[in-house]
Chain A
Amino acid sequence: MTASTPAGDVSIEARVRSEVERALLRNVKGLEYLSTGDPAMGLTPKDAIYSRGTLKLYHYRPLADEVYRVPVLLVMSLVSKAYILDLTPGQSFVEFLLTQGYDVYMIDWGVPRPEDRRLRLEDYTLDFIPDCARRVLADSGEPDLSMIGYCMGGMLAVIYAALHAGGPLKNLACFTTPVNYDGMTLFRRWTDRRYFDVDRIVDTLGNVPPELIYASFEALRPAARAASQIRLWDNMWNDDFVRSYRMFDRWAADQVPFPGECFRQTTKELLWENRLYRNELVLAGRRVELARITVPFLHVMAEHDHIVPYESAKDLLAMVGSADKRDLVLKGGHVSLVAGPHASRRLWPQLDGWLSERSV
């Protein structure tokens, strides 16, 4: 290269070289991709301190020399596997909480069995969650706890909090939690009561098969699968990209059945009648009024959430009765907000900043 060569030519040559190298790497890495398995996930060491049916209550082994007084209980969604919060070392929300000095527990609902088709929202919010909360207090030796709920787990957590306003909840944080089902336009259209016979579906199938759950989520962004595979091929040379793609792709496809009666209840009382938003949801004779929640509350929503759109989540803050409450909208999608590569710079520090002050 001589001093008279225009700077643009250097740039073009370097770019061409880079593209050729990437093209070669794509072929090599492409073969590797096809011949190797998915990365292992959910590896942060933990102990199952309680199990009941398919439910497991885990206590994660501490990673810090001292911890905050108040333990944290993570409540997962019913329709996805819990390891999204513990993807891989370096990209694990659980690991982050542990290194920041929280004492972390998690409710893993497991994979519903055919006999779990009878489970309803009442079972989760009036039995399983209170039972696990009690066991967390006994195990930690503390009189109160913080709860963090993700997506439908957040909905279960707010229902639990409203029905147990006397304690032992000290703080409540929710991520991408729906409350106003009128805002879930596509799901409402697909379950239109004129055409969607939820009774026949549940009475025949019992639990809703995971394939139907997976298909419904995929249908929210029909072009995403093709586009993501193009991007995967384009970035096949990039080990970090491929690793991340494999983790999320595996988790997204790793769906679980939805307990039949809970699906019937969710469809009729939430999607059709929006009872939680209207303060008309009654569980075991008890009305769920989110205004009864008075503990410090944080709700974080994702700017590009296609599963829980902003319209379905934004009203949660106003409905909660806490004096100490705030909500945030952060960049990211429904899953990347919590578990994506940028979560460690966006959501996690925000959560830590809020929760740390309230965990002593």
Chain B
Amino acid sequence: MWREWVGQSERQWNAFLNQTMASDQYGQSLGRFMELYVTMQKGMSEAMGRTLTALNLPTRTDILALGDRLAAIEERLATIETRLERLAGAEAGDGSAAAVSRPPRTKRPATA
């Protein structure tokens, strides 16, 4: 019986809290919380950036910029790789799938 009570309580609490959380006031509060969260993150990031710069160390912005450049290089490599594969496939007659031993593709559904 108490197990049923737990399930029922859970449903009732979820319904009640969802109703509260769907209200305009809750949306406003959530918006304010996010604003505060973002402001704190920004403040901490800027303070840390100033500290790291003073110590002549790379900041998060510097690392992100490096990451962007690496990602761009990765993309260009991926493009080159794709073009080479296409060329290799065209030359070889694209028999890549046959090279590895795999089960035959002959299965039919049980109702067939």
Which residues of A are interface residues toward B (Cβ below 8 A)?
52-53, 62, 64-69, 101, 103, 113-116, 118, 131, 138-142, 185-186, 189-190, 192, 194-197, 200-201, 204-206, 219-224, 226-227, 230-231, 234, 356-357, 359-360
- Tell me whether A138 and B38 are in contact (CB under 8 A): no
- Tell me whether B22 and A186 are in contact (CB under 8 A): yes
- Tell me whether A185 and B22 are in contact (CB under 8 A): yes
- Tell me whether B38 and A204 are in contact (CB under 8 A): yes
Q: Which residues of B contact A223 (CB under 8 A)?
A: 9-10, 13-14, 17
Q: Which residues of A contact B55 (CB under 8 A)?
A: none
Min CB distance B14 to A, Å, is 5
| CA–CA, A196 and B92, complex, Å | 55
- Tell me whether B10 and A224 are in contact (CB under 8 A): yes
| CA–CA, A195 and B35, complex, Å | 9
A-B contact count (CB 8 A): 134
Q: A186 with B103: in contact, given A197-B34, A201-B34 (CB under 8 Å)?
A: no
- Tell me whether A115 and B105 are in contact (CB under 8 A): no
- Tell me whether A195 and B14 are in contact (CB under 8 A): no
| CA–CA, A69 and B94, complex, Å | 18
Give the one of A139, A223, A357 with max B CB within 10 A: A223
Q: Mark B94-112, 1 if CB is under 8 A from A, else 0.
A: 1111100011111111111
| CA–CA, A359 and B106, complex, Å | 10
**Closest B residue, CB atoms, query A142:** B105
**Closest A residue, CB atoms, query B45:** A204
- Tell me whether B74 and A204 are in contact (CB under 8 A): no
